[in-house]
Every structure is written in structure tokens, then in C-alpha cells.
Amino acid sequence: MANKKVVLSLLQQHCKDGCDKFATYFATFPDQSCVEIRAKGLESDEDFSTCFFNLRSFSPTVITFVYDIAKAADLVIFNMQGIADDASNPLVILTDEAQSRELPEGVGSHPVPCSSAEHLGQLLGVDAGSWTKYRDQVLATHH
């Protein structure tokens, strides 16, 4: 069950302007990474059962933010670059193992439980060390 108050609190920490009329939030982080979040029903009496993240940049901060929101809202993460039957690059990532019982039939033949933000980064193909190395390389070429 989604904890709307916790999710809203997490969003408000990084979304200074609140949401627009489409329930879209824009989060910006100290490392200059940012993400767009659509979370209909979060600030109303409507049901809140889904959240869409448009990653405008990719960093450990963004991964942690996505994981924290998904965990607080009891959400399943759908990795759009994932493959349904590949546990190393899964299509369906669970933030709680109990979610596997609620998945519709045929959705992700091999859902993978995720235990932390670091684990999510590994499942998405990026860990903090890889990201730091990549960031430093990009910055070095532009200085």
C-alpha cells in the first residue's frame, strides 16, 4: 500500500515548485542531475497507485531517489531497457518480494527483487563507481 505522505515528502525535498496541472513534478539534485515524475493522485483524494519517471540524467542520486519513491509507494519498477527473461537485465524489478503475487499474468516472466538503491543501480547497469568514473571522464574532456 502506497504511503502518500512519505512519497509526497520525498518529492517536496527536491521539487521546489510542486506539481503542475498534470501532476508532474521536476526534481533537481545537488549533483545537477534531474528527473521528471508524474504522480497522479498524490495531492488529491484520488487513488495513487502509479508513478512515471522520465530520467533526464542518470546518477547515484537519481537511482536512490527512484528507489526510495518506489519503496515508499510499494511500486514495481519497469525497466524499459530490460528483457523479460534476463535476471541480469530485468524488465520487472520488485521493491518487495510479495509484489510478485500481484503481477498480472504474463508480465515479466522473471521479476527480480531489489534490496537497495545500490542493487537497483546494478540491475539498471550502473553502479556508483561506474557513474563516478564516467562523470570524471566527461568532465576531464570538457576542461
Domain count along the chain: 1
Taking 90 as the threshold, does the pLDDT of residue 67 lie above it? yes
Domain around 37 = 4-141
Rounded to whole angstroms, the Cα distance separating 99 from 74 reads 8
- Predicted confidence at residue 72, as pLDDT, reads 92
Which residues share a beta bridge with 35?
Answer: 27, 55
- Predicted confidence at residue 3, as pLDDT, reads 82
Rounded to whole angstroms, the Cα distance separating 81 from 127 reads 16
* pTM of this prediction exceeds 0.85: no
Going by their DSSP bridges, the two strands 34-38 and 52-55 should be labelled as antiparallel
Length of the chain: 143
Please measure the distance between the N-terminal and C-terminal CA atoms of the chain and give it in whole angstroms: 48
- Predicted confidence at residue 131, as pLDDT, reads 58
Taking 80 as the threshold, does the pLDDT of residue 110 lie above it? yes
Q: Helix and strand tally (H, E) in the chain? A: 4, 6
- Predicted confidence at residue 130, as pLDDT, reads 61
Taking 80 as the threshold, does the pLDDT of residue 25 lie above it? yes
- Predicted confidence at residue 79, as pLDDT, reads 86
What are 39's three cell numbers? Answer: 504522480
Taking 60 as the threshold, does the pLDDT of residue 1 lie above it? no
Rounded to whole angstroms, the Cα distance separating 97 from 22 reads 31
Arithmetic mean of pLDDT over the chain: 85
- Predicted confidence at residue 56, as pLDDT, reads 77
Of residues 79 and 129, the one with the higher pLDDT is 79
- Predicted confidence at residue 128, as pLDDT, reads 53
Phi and psi for 34 in degrees, rounded to 5?
Answer: -150, 160
